[in-house]
Amino acid sequence: MSQENVEVVRSAFKAFGQGDIAAVLANVDPEVVIVQPRELGGAIQRGHAGVLEAFALWPDHWDNYEAIITRTVDVGDQVVVGTRTTGRSRDTGMDLVADFTFVMKLRNGKITNWRLFVHEAEALEAVGLRE
């Protein structure tokens, strides 16, 4: 089942990159819990409305926003996803190049928990791995 989980996560990221929010939501459980990194306020969003709220925190503020998967680690019912995020701030013109790591927990082929980390080591530790 875990390779299937990796494919669900990859599908959600691909849909996001194409701007197909309906396809993203098709991969996400209606009761999903999203946890933003503590370094960026630690907000918690819930459900599909929370997914939309979380998306508004990022792409709505950046031109040419892109999050590309650089690595996936299959951890049973969880998938660790390393990303390289790029864009240009609409407010300041500042370029963004940042690496973020997501930990996605899945059940029955849907993402049920979605945590974002600024430091990959913390994400790996959260799933019981050390690099």
Measured in whole angstroms, how far is the alpha carbon of residue 96 from the centre of its chain? 17
In one-letter notation, the amino acid at residue 19 is G
Q: Which residues of the chain have pLDDT under 70?
A: 1, 57-60, 131
CATH topology of domain 2-126: Nuclear Transport Factor 2; Chain: A, (3.10.450)
Residue boundaries of the structural domains of the chain:
2-126
pLDDT number for residue 131 = 62
pLDDT in the model for residue 57: 67
Using CA atoms, how far apart are residues 18 and 61, in angstroms rounded to an integer?
17
pLDDT for res 20 = 92
Q: What is the pLDDT of residue 39?
A: 87
Verdict on whether the full-model pTM lies above 0.85? yes
